[in-house]
Chains A and B, each alone.
Chain A
Amino acid sequence: MAEAPETLRLEGVRKSYGIGTPAELEVLHGIDLSLRKGEFAALIGPSGGGKSTLLNLVGLLDRPTAGRLFVTGREAGVLGDVELTRLRGHNIGFVFQYHYLLPAFTAVENVMMPILATRGHPDDAMRERAELLLDKVGLTPWRDHMANDLSGGQQQRVAMARALAMDPALVLADEPTGNLDTKSADGVFDVLREVNRTSGTTFLIVTHDPRLAQRCDRIIQLVDGNIVSDQPNSASQPGSG
């Protein structure tokens, strides 16, 4: 089997905060990591271990102090602010613990938002795409409801549809089910797996939930700024990944 192309590559990535101050603190100590297209990986580890910092770097929301970072083969460190924003907009989708939907817009408009921000003007094609994605997450009947009128689980599914709007190569999920009850959490997770299987989208999911981690194909453990273990997970559903 030929190896799939790399969606994400980190080479000796370090991140320090408070550089030059007495409180200078290195949070990540030289991370090497590679995610190939279609992987469905869990990032686990104790709080304060650097998971969120790593996610911010991978999501191009922050820049590493040292090391190199490649997203879909492009080195992020050499890009300016505008190009970085574009690379992020086109290639990375975010799902956060909290949905952060725009309450002033309907469900379908929230899903359209990334495409709208990129293209400038609304059109039928982006609405159709948003409706399709809402259908995937099972929210067609609610698509014209305002974001605030939906339940927590529904809002998180809208946020997922939004993360997929630009058909990104990589979806970063930070405790995507952390705020949901078990039933909603399973529903949300099923959608992620489904998208991964059908679209070949790469997923990196930060979670505290061992049950959820066990359903991923690969488990990366980050402790005190170092990857202490990185193993394929044979316990995940067969036929995926």
Chain B
Amino acid sequence: MNRFLPFEVIAAFRFMREGMAQTTLIITGVALGVGVIVFMSALVAGLQSNIIRRTLNYMAPIVIVPPDQVARPQRGDEVGALAANVQPRSQQLRSIDQWQKVRAQVGRLPSVVAVTPVVSGPGFALRGDANKAVTITGIEPETYVRVIGLEEKLVAGRLPAGASDIVIGIELSKDLGAGVGDKLRLTTASGAAETLNVVGLFDFGNKGVNERTVYIGLRVAQNLLNLTGGVSSLEVKVHEPFAAETIAQTIHSETGLQADSWIRTNAQFFTAMAAQSLSNTVIRFFVGLTAALGIASVLVVSVVQKSKEIGILRAMGTSREQVLRVFLVQGGVMGLVGSVFGCVLGWLFLLAWRSVALNADGTPLFIIVMEPELFASAAAGATLVGILAAVVPARNAARLDPAVAIRG
């Protein structure tokens, strides 16, 4: 007997060792449950963070645009002279009013990492006979790379620096047959045109983006899209992507401009993610419930089997509380030990998954982060479940009338 352990813990361990077969079975059960929870949680978290990371690759968390133009029919003298049908206005490509001031103002917000001006609008990329609709994106490279990691996505060449530089996606490069060093022509609906040198190719891992987006200098884009001196949007990077919506609302109230967070623009994705998280929670709940029922049933049987021993313990001066704790400790230990094995199991599942789920080139399909917090919370949760599961049998044991228990 270890002298540092209290009576309850010593008794709990001896009782569990006595019923080794049951103890082993239930610990195995808890371990499997916890293993599945750890594996699933890590997988779902990895999947989500991966999609988020990929989305935020080519998308700023917040985009500030001018407010929508609305039709404002003139009021007549008489009430009721208001037009019954007001056709909504078509939205022109407009600049943000005093964008330099807005940029400085937003840049001062503590939650904001960087702000970059962007001029973007529709156009065509032409080379020889090929003609592709593109989104012309005029950027200020120095600040743009702080919002979107364009630099890391370049597979060839460099960022646009001069007035005649253009960077295109690998898909467009394939469609037009234009590589680094080739020339192509950009035109817009207004008839403005510019011949540019391809200086770089990017790959965002998203076909739409790789096909449609072309990056050119801010000035050139302003000229092409007839927005001299203006910008069509300000793109904002924030420290905490999940706070983007709140920050967007702050920006909106401070500037009066429309600020769209990626959370709102990807509402569907977030709904899917929430559903995924919910189903994960439901599975956790039921696995936890199953483990709890298993532990409870083992302890209920143990209390019945040991009722005479419990009676004699009570007759010897063991208090009800001590008896209660002996069984609570058993529940807690079964949960804890089961969850430790479960964490190892989950970790092995994840390692196995990582070695199986690979891209064609051998890189992992997506990165799973094995966070210590996940393991710690699984262990803490299972211990708590074990203790809770033990409450009913432990109370049965504590309530045993020693006289009745001994006479049986």
A residues near B (Cβ < 8 Å) are 52, 56, 59, 61-62, 81-82, 85-86, 88-90, 94, 96, 98, 100, 102-105, 109, 112-114, 116-118, 120-123, 162, 166
Q: Is the CB of B17 within 8 A of A104?
A: yes
Q: Distance (Å) between the CB of A130 and the closest chain B CB?
A: 11
8 A/B residue pairs, CB under 8 Å, sorted by A = A62-B403, A81-B320, A89-B317, A94-B312, A96-B312, A102-B14, A116-B7, A117-B318
Chain A residues near B311 (CB, 8 Å)? Answer: 100
Q: Given A109-B1, A121-B6, verify A85-B314 contact (CB < 8 Å).
A: yes
Q: Please give the number of chain B residues whose Cβ is less than 8 angstroms from any Cβ of chain A in the complex.
A: 31
Residues of B contacting A82 with CB < 8 Å? 319
| CB pair A61 B10 closer than 8 Å | no
CB <8 Å contact, B309 and A100: yes
Known pairs A52-B407, A102-B14, A105-B14; A117 contacts B322 (CB<8 A): yes
Residue B3, interface by CB 8 Å: yes
* Contact (Cβ within 8 A) B14 A104: yes
CA of A114 to CA of B4, assembled, Å: 18
**Of A56, A86, A90, which is within 8 A of B403 by CB?**
A56
Q: Fill in one digit per residue for B1-29: 1 if any A CB lies within 8 Å of its CB, else 0.
A: 11111110011001101100000000000
Q: B residues touching A (Cβ–Cβ < 8 Å)?
A: 1-7, 10-11, 14-15, 17-18, 308-309, 311-320, 322, 401-403, 406-407
Instruction: Name the distance in Å between B165's Cβ and chain A's nearest Cβ.
Output: 78
A-B contact count (CB 8 A): 82
Contact in complex: A121, B3 (CB < 8 Å):
yes
- Across the interface, A102 reaches (CB within 8 A) one of B309, B314, B319, B401, namely B309
Report the 4 A-B pairs with minimum CB-CB distance, sorted nearest first.
Answer: A89-B317, A104-B14, A61-B403, A104-B18
Query: Per a CB cutoff under 8 Å, which of B1, B312, B320, B403 touches A100?
Result: B312
Which chain A positions have C-beta within 8 A of B319? 82, 85, 117
Per the bound structure, the CA–CA distance linking A94 and B6 in Å amounts to: 24
Residues of A close to B3: CB separation below 8 A: 121-123
B317 touches A117 (CB 8 A): yes
Instruction: Please give the distance in Å from A164's CB to the nearest CB on chain B.
Output: 12
Our pick among B5, B317, B402, B407 for the contact of A166 (Cβ within 8 Å) is B317
A61 with B309: CB separation less than 8 A: no
- Min CB distance A114 to B, Å, is 4
Task: Find out whether the CB atom of A117 lies under 8 angstroms from the CB atom of B402.
Answer: no
Determine how close the nearest CB of chain B comes to the CB of A214; give it in whole angstroms. Answer: 27
Q: Which residues of A contact B14 (CB under 8 A)?
A: 102, 104-105
Residues of A near B308 (CB, < 8 A) are 98, 100
